[in-house]
Structure 1
Amino acid sequence: MSADRLASRWVGLVLVAVTAVATLWLATTGRLDLYVHPRYTVFVVVMALLALAAAIAAAVLLSFRDEARTHGHGGHGHAHDGHLHGDDHGGDGPRRRAVTRIAVATGSAVLVAVSIAALVLAPPRTLSVSAAAARADSVVGAVQGASDPSGDPSGYTVKDWSNLLRQGRDDEVIGQRTQLTGFVQADPDDPDSFALSRFVITCCAVDARPTSVTVYSPGWSSSLRVGDWATVDGTFAANPSVLSMSSVALLPSSVVPVDEPSDPYLQ
């Protein structure tokens, strides 16, 4: 079988198998949540197992079929090969075909290698601050699919407080004390404020949207950098800033830099 036909037949199966193995590896290492909502973890793992089983079965069937063809048509194949050699005498056909086969085989090998490196070797990372800035423009009103928070306000997340503020329920927020963890974004309007943000994931990382609350903390940039994670303990109040677009801000009693949490996304 020619190299180009061999490549076209097997590269797809190899890529399916690599993707399935990478998905299972992410699941066993607890990193699949960086890509999909936890409610879909079981579904994704089952689909990956089915894809891997299908790729293995297809590879076995193709191997048996190739072997059967080799044994069943060996004589005819030799005669055909002889005819081809006779047709190509004195021409550049064999050379061109050889170059094409080498190029296809090399390209296929590179594609498989890059896919393996991207899916397995490259460490999974959370969405970046630049992604939050880019996606913020697409967020209108409260986070889609979010319900009104209930229970003890001390357990509210960045998403909960942000939704209440986006709904104009400032009176319910002002005076509330809370402790929140998120990553730091600069306030484009006020250098004395920053946004404490988290990504909210509905299905997978593709649909993740940022949500945030404004923290009024003059001089914050001396101890924090954009993109750092921090835990802020404070009380919501009318924003004392005359520059910020937020009417309510979290006035911190403490701002402590922390490591990125193991579950960086909110659901």
Structure 2
Amino acid sequence: MAAVKKQLPALLLALIGCALLRISLLSDLYLRYVKEGLRPLLIASGVVLVVLGLAAALRAREHSGQEGDGHDKGHEHEERHGHSHSAGGPKTAWLLALPAVMLLLFAPPALGSYTVARDGSGAVARRTTFTPLPNLSPLPLSLSDFTSRAVWDDKGSLKDRTVRLTGFVAPGNATAWQLSRVVVSCCAADARVLKVEVHGIAAPPADSWVTVTGTWRPAAKAPALDATSIEHITQPKNPYRDSAQP
């Protein structure tokens, strides 16, 4: 039994390493947690943890093979006197096993409408200069570009322009729903919400991804769109990258 306990920390290291490799090397699931540029670091970390786990398992096995009856008797003596020492490490360390197993079996979805509903900031990044918009109709725009122009562009570059915006659906109020994106600078912990009120079209199911075509509603208090058409799309490979294209 003692030999098995000594193998458990090594198993935990290998388990966490395999979970990292599963989401970063064998799939694109890591994009639900961190930005794309961190993939090499995740792969390297996964490899290191697996190697350390295997090395620790081999070392524990060799050590167990060298132990004799004298050590077992000494261990029994310690237990009788109430000061046995556990080789399994801190019990709280095993809390790491749960997220590792979850990542191996299934991955939680990317941040979506639940996050938007609990974000009350509605903040829009301030910009002082805006480049001229291409002469396209409809004009694909990212949500960050659309919202900043709607709030801060004194020249009204969005006026009378038909635009196409892509994002996921979040519940709104009685008259409009929210077309949203969640963008990250490093990881999901620093997520920032972008949202545009959509009028004129009934709200699709929450968290579904859509491309909406319409015109800017300048009279609205928040960035808003009078929609004329909507297209359902699959979730982009990187849901946290705010792009004009799906």
TM tier, smaller: 0.7 to 0.9
Q: Tell me the SS of whatever aligns to 1:66.
A: helix
Q: Tell me the SS of whatever aligns to 1:172.
A: coil
1:185 deviates by 2.1
- Determine which of 9, 13, 17 is the counterpart of 1:12: 9
Is the 8 Å Cα contact of residues 14 and 49 (structure 2) preserved in structure 1? yes
1:214 paired with 2:194, answer no
Distance 1:22 1:216, change over 3 A: same
Is the 8 Å Cα contact of residues 164 and 170 (structure 1) preserved in structure 2? no
Q: Tell me the SS of whatever aligns to 1:45.
A: helix
> Which residue identity does 2:143 align to in structure 1?
V
Q: In percent, how many aligned pairs have the same letter?
A: 22
Alpha-carbon separation, structure 1, partners of 2:51 and 2:180: 41
Distance 1:249 1:84, change over 3 A: closer
Alpha-carbon RMSD: 3.8
More helix by share: 1
The TM-score normalised by the length of structure 2 is: 0.75
Partner of 1:199: 182
Alpha-carbon separation, structure 1, partners of 2:73 and 2:206: 71
- Determine which of 227, 231, 236 is the counterpart of 1:252: 227
1:233 paired with 2:217, answer no
Is the 8 Å Cα contact of residues 149 and 156 (structure 2) preserved in structure 1? no
For the pair shown, which has the larger CA radius of gyration, 1 or 2? 1
Structure 1 residues not aligned, in runs of 5+: none
Alpha-carbon separation, structure 2, partners of 1:163 and 1:199: 15
1:129 paired with 2:113, answer yes
Alpha-carbon separation, structure 2, partners of 1:12 and 1:80: 23
Partner of 2:64: 66
Q: Tell me the SS of whatever aligns to 1:164.
A: helix
Is the 8 Å Cα contact of residues 169 and 205 (structure 2) preserved in structure 1? yes
1:180 paired with 2:165, answer yes
Alpha-carbon separation, structure 2, partners of 1:24 and 1:77: 39
- Post-superposition Cα deviations, 1:79-135, rounded to whole Å, max 9, x if no partner, equal 5478689x69xxxx9xxx9xxx9xx9xx99x96874454121123311131112223
Alpha-carbon separation, structure 2, partners of 1:254 and 1:132: 23
Distance 1:256 1:65, change over 3 A: same
1:198 deviates by 0.7
Q: Tell me the SS of whatever aligns to 1:179.
A: strand
- Post-superposition Cα deviations, 1:210-243, rounded to whole Å, max 9, x if no partner, equal 10122221x514xx2333322101222324xxxx
Q: Tell me the SS of whatever aligns to 1:13.
A: helix
Q: Tell me the SS of whatever aligns to 1:60.
A: helix
Distance 1:148 1:11, change over 3 A: farther
Partner of 1:46: 44
Alpha-carbon separation, structure 1, partners of 2:47 and 2:132: 38
Structural mapping, 1:160-179, within 5 Å: 160-167=145-152, 169=154, 171-179=156-164
1:29 paired with 2:27, answer yes
Is the 8 Å Cα contact of residues 31 and 239 (structure 2) preserved in structure 1? no
Alpha-carbon separation, structure 1, partners of 2:186 and 2:49: 20
Structural mapping, 1:82-121, within 5 Å: 114-121=98-105
Q: Count residues with an aligned counterpart.
A: 235
Alpha-carbon separation, structure 1, partners of 2:131 and 2:60: 55
